[in-house]
A and B are shown apart, each in its own frame.
Chain A
């Protein structure tokens, strides 16, 4: 009897730091059982052998920042049954999306002796702005546990159990004192999607929103609270303009602060 066909998984990189792919490679306790359950068909950072598509699951890291990438993501979408945007670059543009609020040409001229060799788009954008995405897994980098949850859910044909709540809920489950309330530290936790297990607050630091805004979040009341705590002007806007800064809720909140500051 032939062996049953395994689910094929392909990992693709767009503009990114590779940190999310490294999270996959860092799964030292689980990677062998993962390799048992799925066929790793394309994962250049892990193995030289590549299998042609179509793929059951495509994991896409990075944001779209070049004309090439615009085309390549369409090809990948066409070859993939289920496409997962992996990490904050793929879901919100990532840190490189800061250029969406600046002049990318000017950056290129400042960094490269021959910027004319570069072919890039004026903006860095999430995968979902280019092709339909089946699931977004946020985080900078992604949480390994959430990733395994997605894979096991796909293998078992059930809905993955991913958190939708704020980082605050995670802090309270861990018994951590709120850094806003007890330490007067700026923290985006109340507005940010959980997934990190409240990593930064557990080290006494404020959350900088790397898992992106909690779905349906409006930052109306958090912004004045954080601004009243600022030790130097503009801290809140800088906190929002970070790796998830291009996510609409954070982008809108930062914009309104900057506009207001301009008026003053």
Chain B
């Protein structure tokens, strides 16, 4: 049989049972495959070896402050919506030692950043690709490059998937980041009943497909896939009007709603840590008792942590009102001035994982009310 010609931009069909071959091929090429698996009552992004470890037959029920993984009644792999974890944990690890210093006639750094494994991220949603692109803007700037992020990001393979079953707190359609893939992936899957349609997004993607039993998809299945992707746009659990952002926030810094939110917000920081674009961190030095060695560690931090805005002389954001306002006006306001895009991709994690059910798709309309900007 003559091999099907595959090019960047081609769409081919991969029989469902051959997903394992695709994962095996990635590992054979030296990638560490990280993908969705069920754990802790949710979907986590962990090392996976095969499709049997993925959340086949699961879907998620999501609302503000609630996430439940339930049976989907079918055998699809990607009917779940992501849990609290996001891909930022791969490129921007929650904890990483930057260097050790040793006092031996002056301070000398010991060791250097270890080379990162080449990661293949399996099942990346369109909103999550948008989030990765946003973090790229923060970590891979032209003037400053974060070496930890760059090392992990540069060789990563992105096996993306069109989102056909958005969750109850999703609003990517409002943010223009999904549910359909547009760019930023090596291979893009659309999950149908018996096959995956595979959209070749890069030369690396093309390379992975070579030798796999792919076929030319027929027009009927292509049509069905398009219908499914279009239908997903209408299944968003939430909506957000972004037409007047960032002005509605930046011109209403004294709106009474900020005070009202501060009565509900615990400043626990959950929203910022589950957010796939939030990138705040802290560096901490851990010194040995005799003072001859010290380790500098970088850890995830949050603008909701009172210690985050503490400076000599006091805290510049001393209360919950100021901390919540900082977060939202940055995420959906000044982010645009800073990076040219809003910092929200509409994944809904901050809504689902807020223990006290604060919903930004309700807060923005509340801040819009009675504004005299």
A225, B84: Cβ atoms closer than 8 Å: no
CB of A188 to closest CB in B, whole Å? 10
Q: Is the CB of B291 within 8 A of A190?
A: no
Interface size class of A (residues with CB under 8 A): 35 or more
A164-B40 contact in complex given A177-B84, A190-B355, A222-B355, C-beta closer than 8 Å: no
Whether A113 sits at the interface, judged by CB under 8 Å, is no
Q: A128 within 8 Å of B by Cβ?
A: no
CB-CB < 8 A to B274: which residues of A? Answer: 172
With A165-B269, A168-B269 known as contacts, the answer to whether A177 contacts B41 (CB < 8 A) is yes
- Give the CA-CA distance A164 to B284 in the complex, in Å: 13
Known A164-B307, A175-B89; judge A225-B356 contact (CB<8 A).
yes
Chain A positions 208 through 252: 1 when the CB is less than 8 Å from some CB of chain B, otherwise 0: 000000111111111001000000000000000000000000000
Identify which of A174, A182, A191 contacts B68 (C-beta below 8 A).
Answer: A182
Interface-located stretch among A33-41, A48-56, A79-87, A131-139? A33-41
- The answer to whether B94 touches A174 (Cβ under 8 A) is yes
Closest B residue to A157 by beta carbon equals B291
Knowing A174-B94, A222-B356, A225-B355, the reply to whether A166 touches B267 (Cβ < 8 A) is yes
* Residue B112 interfacial (CB < 8 Å): no
Stretch of B20-28, B144-152, B236-244, B258-266 with 4 or more beta carbons under 8 angstroms from chain A:
B258-266
Residues of the B chain whose Cβ atoms lie less than 8 Å from the Cβ of A222: 266, 355-356
Chain A residues positioned under 8 Å from B19 (CB to CB)? none
- Chain A residues near B65 (CB-CB < 8 A): 180-181, 225
The answer to whether B263 and A221 have CB atoms under 8 Å apart is: yes
Residue A178 at the chain B interface, CB threshold 8 Å: yes
A177 touches which one: B83, B268, B273, B301 (CB < 8 A)?
A: B83
Instruction: Tell me how far the C-beta of A40 lies from the nearest C-beta in chain B, rounded to whole angstroms.
Output: 13
**1/0 per residue A182-195: CB within 8 Å of B?**
11000101110000
Note all chain A residues with C-beta closer than 8 A to B304. 165
Task: Please give the distance in Å from A34's CB to the nearest CB on chain B.
Answer: 6
Answer yes or no: A173 CB below 8 A from chain B CBs: yes
Q: Which residue of B lies closest to A158 (CB)?
A: B287
Q: Are A166 and B299 touching (Cβ within 8 A)? A: no
Most A CB contacts (10 A, CB to CB) among B42, B289, B319 go to B289
Q: Which of A13-21, A64-72, A144-152 contacts B (4 or more CB under 8 A)?
A: A144-152
Residues on A with C-beta less than 8 A from B286 are 149, 161
A191, B266: Cβ atoms closer than 8 Å: yes
Shortest A145–chain B CB gap in Å is 8
Residues of B within 8 A of A156 (CB): 287, 291
Q: A34-B289, A152-B288, A225-B356 are in contact. Are A172 and B300 (CB under 8 A)?
A: yes
List A contacts of B85 (CB < 8 A): 175
With A and B bound together, what is the CA distance between A156 and B288 in angstroms? Answer: 10
Contact between chains at B291 and A220 (CB < 8 Å) = no
Chain B neighbourhood of A44, CB < 8 A: none
Known contacts A33-B289, A182-B41, A190-B268; decide if A225 and B357 are in contact (CB<8 Å).
yes
Cβ of B290 under 8 Å from chain A: yes
Q: Is A30 an interface residue (CB 8 A)?
A: yes
> Which residues from A are CB-within-8-Å of B269?
165-166, 168-169, 172
Contact indicator A177/B270 (Cβ below 8 Å): no
Nearest CB of chain B from residue A241's CB, rounded to whole Å: 20
Determine whether B305 belongs to the interface, using a CB cutoff of 8 Å to chain A.
yes
Instruction: Please give, as numbers and ranges, the residues of chain B lying within 8 Å of A33 by CB-CB distance.
Output: 288-290
Decide yes or no whether B91 CB sits under 8 A from chain A: no
Report the bound CA distance from A178 to B357 in whole Å.
13
B95 contacts chain A at the CB level, 8 A cutoff? yes
Decide yes or no whether B32 CB sits under 8 A from chain A: no
Docked CA distance A216–B315 (Å): 12
- Report yes or no: B266 in contact with A152, Cβ–Cβ below 8 A: no
CB distance from A231 to the nearest CB of B (A): 16
Residues of B within 8 A of A164 (CB): 305-307
Q: CB < 8 Å: which of B266, B289, B352, B353 contacts A166?
A: B266
Report chain B residues within 8 Å CB of A215. 306
A102: Cβ under 8 A from any B Cβ: no
* Residue numbers in B under 8 Å from A166 (CB-CB): 266-269, 305
Q: Is the CB of B67 within 8 A of A181?
A: yes
- Whether a CB of chain B sits under 8 angstroms from the CB of A258 is no
> For residue B355, which residues in chain A have a CB less than 8 angstroms away from its CB?
168, 178, 180-181, 187, 189-190, 222, 225
Residues on B close to A: CB < 8 A?
39-42, 44, 65-68, 83-85, 89, 94-95, 263-270, 273-274, 284-291, 299-302, 304-307, 319-320, 352-353, 355-357
Instruction: Enumerate 12 A-B pairs (CB-CB under 8 Å) in ascending A order.
Output: A30-B289, A33-B289, A37-B290, A149-B286, A168-B270, A169-B268, A177-B39, A177-B41, A181-B65, A181-B84, A204-B40, A217-B267
Q: Which 3 A-B pairs have the closest CB atoms?
A: A172-B273, A190-B268, A168-B268
Besides A165-B306, A175-B84, A190-B266, 5 other CB < 8 A contacts?
A165-B304, A169-B273, A173-B273, A180-B355, A221-B263
